Chains A and B, each alone.
Chain A
């Protein structure tokens, strides 16, 4: 009888305070995101996948100067320059090996033409090594960027109200 009382006291009187913290958390909203159904927004300066910018008229900004390759601590960038129709310098081959890349952003800092940026995309798994060597065409932003007026308004509204953006 005494044992029974002790057991009952333990369960209903002593255990709840001990497990209070744990029990409290049962009713709190979990921090865990239901990835991949829900994705967190990355910070604006998050260093993800590279992309190559263009000028407004569509000319590629990259002049294949070699500074990003020289700055890269992982030796992940390879390029070969050529002359385009206007006689200006442009990249014929521009490849970044994303498996070597450490996403430090030195290439973005080194670029004198503001051509290469690290965006916010981090989802690029694949099942063979070769597909991780991204070529220039894979990294160039499309031209013209689809001038969807609604997207612009939505983007501005979102920015005003602090809703994070999904990708670059």
Chain B
């Protein structure tokens, strides 16, 4: 029986296959597969230490020996390419002897730490020694010990990073950690020093291992040499059970496993669950340590009701009674159009759908939105921006793209899984990467060319690319004049001058884009967060039209939160696309005919006191909305505010009723990732304290307001299924779209452009409660380029006052390794220094003034 195995990264061009015999079974694999991969594809287990499916094989451990007929010695199957007619024996006597010998060699200097080692029970060395090794040791010398501070000790737990503990004595030198760090993550903070028997894996001198993927190094280590502080001495792994789930922080939906103990309602740790289509087994640290918020001491335990200015604990009945009374009052006196709803896009499908129905059917208005941290939102959802957010996109297709372009995206902070995927494409497929950003970013270290254009000139650089394609005759379009009119530039050099980029570099990118067989173009948060996102999206539509990107690849603006795609598909928007609207009308039997109001207009109306009641589910608008003053003004004027959240926040402090909601581990939910793939997150633990799942809270409120939202859970499930199948009917525009470009004037006092985003170790507004993530980065900072720091005579660690026309904060300085122009970066998750107080929602480019604080 011949089985065909798919090799990593192969395309349909690899039609050559080879057939070999493994343990008597005939296997057909594509040319280039190794014997080990061929064996694994048919279920033959060959033990390994240093092999990893996503790293290049080095053949260092010598554990994967097989005997191949007509080859004189034992061969390492991970490094031997399969050839036609090979006859492979994986379990002959010679192979068994070879494996025993290797295990004996490894155990020579391996300390007898199993009772105290965290890896016990989970350890490759333990398992393989049981299966293939000797039961006694012939070594009767003293084992090698590494010296620390002049003391030779078997107890060697060095803390080489905020979360990583290294025990050099236990290392078996498989080099998986340094290889993964270098190849897969592009970091050099862990290295191997010395040679021979005393090779020491350690942090690079003067550095800590604190890159945003450092947790994977612990998972990849086959023994207990690298361990997590988070898991240290917590529980033995054989006492735990696993529950499959999905990450709620990143939009790609990395697959994870929760570890919980059978009788306790507690999650002990999170590890990866390899999904080759999404995450390849690598988890960013946010995902790995973010579960700690579930068991934080600050979780809201009971509902709170505001009485005479103080928030007091109450029961659910009391809270719901207050909601019934007050919401009912507003509904009767002023009408449903005065009540709005805001929901966090990282909640699951059932909650999103129930919420949308609550606002639309029970309360009868179109005041619902999930886009809380974006400014100047459009009224409709059928614009060019929406087209770009709903393009088909497959993460796995990045692997074999010849050219990858990232536009306006700091990938490491926004889409870490996609960054790793692009690194893999460069390593295995030799892809060419081009990065276009208004400031230099770390994730461009794989890029062949990084084009840093002037901030605010986003449309201009896209226009320059389009015009370069036309001028260099790389593409042929029927009406180039229309393109010039649409972009507002006549020559490519004009556009290049506006953005401040060399025309030659633009030509290189354009040439690569035109000649590539398969292209991936990723546009990120810069587009989404911009005031002029529609313009930039139109420019991208023009680019697609010129180069035909979607025909030979994929182009999309990637959504940022765990379920933004789901929210879009379920129509949790003030004015969903027509097809979605008609489907919802059909399912619910009606549609409110009130004016659709998005987050911006809701806040405007709140300030005007035309919206008096607001339900906020799982979000913190004061922390996230890019104009803190504006958000506070609106929320403070409300008559009645209900907030459902995990933790107390500034928004809950203003609320009249606060309801505790469950985290994603406490109820089963479905999440739609940025590809449109629906993934199930299973329930790991029962709801803690008195919290309830989001959809249950919505249904309780609806009950009190007199309507039963769904006949049963099954009905809701079917409705969601139908909605997810709907294609929103948006397609590319028929001709070039006018974009033009704006050059915003800025006054002389506030000159320094400010970029706001997430720190690579944080996401959204909750990860401050995860103690491990706070260990990596505990407070806000400002990242400045060395040139700018020299101008202001600032050094690392100094405090600076950052001022804008609407606010000021004081933050410590970090001199960046990447930034090289005058753009500064401040992360936004920290409640003690909210950067949103500096932002103004009507600005295209936020500008601030920085001054050193002399203590």
Contact = CB atoms under 8 A, between A and B. Distances in A.
Contact of A81 (B114, B155, B233): B233
B116 A66 contact: no
Contact of B114 (A80, A83, A112): A112
Given A65-B115, A65-B116, A80 B235 contact: yes
Interface string B664-707: 00000000000000000000000000000000000000000000
Nearest to B116: A89
A67 B233 CA distance: 14
Instruction: Name, among A66, A70, A82, the residue most crowded by chain B CB atoms within 10 Å (CB to CB).
Output: A66
Interface in A78-114: 80-83, 87-89, 112-113
A66 B232 contact: no
Nearest to B239: A66
Contacts of A82: 233
B238 interface: yes
B236 A83 contact: no
A65 B121 CA distance: 11
B120 interface: yes
A89 to B, nearest CB: 4
A63 interface: yes
Contact of A66 (B155, B157, B236): B236
Interface in B196-238: 232-236, 238
B238 A63 contact: no
Nearest to B112: A112
Interface string A47-70: 000000000000000011111001
A66 B120 CA distance: 10
A67 B115 contact: yes
A66 B114 CA distance: 11
Nearest to B121: A66
Contact of B234 (A63, A70, A81, A87): A81
B236 A88 contact: no
A148 B234 CA distance: 40
A161 to B, nearest CB: 40
Nearest to B229: A83
Contacts of A88: 116, 155
A63 B155 contact: no
Contacts of B234: 81
A65 to B, nearest CB: 3
Contact of A63 (B116, B232, B239): B116
Q: Which of A65, A67, A83 has most B Cβ within 10 Å?
A: A65
Q: Which of B114, B115, B155 has the most CB of A within 10 A?
A: B115
A113 B112 CA distance: 11
Contacts of B116: 63, 65, 88-89
The prevalent SS among residues of B at the interface is: loop
A70 B233 contact: no
B228 to A, nearest CB: 13
A82 B235 CA distance: 9
Contacts of A113: 115
B235 A65 contact: no
Chain A: interface size category: 10 to 19
Given A63-B116, A65-B114, A65-B120, A89 B233 contact: yes
B235 A112 contact: no
Interface string B630-646: 00000000000000000
A83 B233 contact: yes
Contacts of A64: 233
A83 B155 CA distance: 13
Nearest to A113: B115
Contact of A87 (B155, B236, B238): B155
Contacts of B120: 65-66
Contact of A83 (B115, B232, B235): B232
B36 to A, nearest CB: 33
Interface in B240-293: none
Contact of B157 (A63, A87, A112): A87
Contacts of B236: 65-66, 70
B115 A63 contact: yes
Nearest to B238: A70
A112 B233 contact: no
A109 to B, nearest CB: 14
Nearest to A83: B233
Contacts of B233: 64, 81-83, 89
A89 B233 CA distance: 7
From B116, B157, B232, B239, name the one whose CB has the most chain A CB atoms within 10 angstroms: B116
A113 B155 CA distance: 15
A83 B233 CA distance: 7
Nearest to B159: A87
A113 B236 CA distance: 17
B243 to A, nearest CB: 21
A80 B233 CA distance: 8
Contacts of B232: 83
Contacts of A81: 233-235
Contacts of A80: 235
Contacts of A70: 236, 238
A65 B239 CA distance: 12
Contacts of A87: 155, 157
Contacts of B115: 63, 65, 67, 89, 112-113
Nearest to A70: B238
Contacts of B239: 66
Contacts of B238: 66, 70
A79 to B, nearest CB: 9
Contacts of B157: 87
Chain A CB count within 10 A is highest, among B120, B232, B233, B235, for B233
Interface string B109-126: 000001110001000000
Contacts of A112: 114-115
Interface string A113-146: 1000000000000000000000000000000000
Contacts of A89: 115-116, 233
A160 B157 CA distance: 47
A78 B157 CA distance: 26
Nearest to A111: B115
Nearest to A67: B115
Nearest to B234: A81
Contacts of A67: 115
A20 to B, nearest CB: 63
A66 B233 CA distance: 11
A82 B115 CA distance: 13
Nearest to A80: B235
A61 B676 CA distance: 55
A76 to B, nearest CB: 15
A12 B408 CA distance: 122
A80 to B, nearest CB: 7
A77 to B, nearest CB: 12
A112 to B, nearest CB: 5
Nearest to A66: B236
Interface in B486-528: none
A112 B120 CA distance: 13
A64 B239 CA distance: 14
Interface string A25-46: 0000000000000000000000
B755 to A, nearest CB: 41
B550 to A, nearest CB: 55
B391 to A, nearest CB: 50
A83 B174 CA distance: 28
3 closest A-B pairs by CB? A65-B115, A81-B233, A66-B236
Interface of A: 63-67, 70, 80-83, 87-89, 112-113
15 contacts: A64-B233, A65-B236, A66-B236, A66-B238, A66-B239, A80-B235, A81-B235, A82-B233, A83-B232, A83-B233, A87-B157, A88-B116, A88-B155, A89-B116, A112-B114
Given A65-B116, A87-B155, A112-B115, 19 more contacts: A63-B115, A64-B233, A65-B114, A65-B115, A65-B120, A66-B236, A66-B238, A67-B115, A70-B236, A80-B235, A81-B233, A81-B234, A81-B235, A83-B232, A83-B233, A87-B157, A88-B116, A89-B233, A113-B115
Interface of B: 114-116, 120, 155, 157, 232-236, 238-239
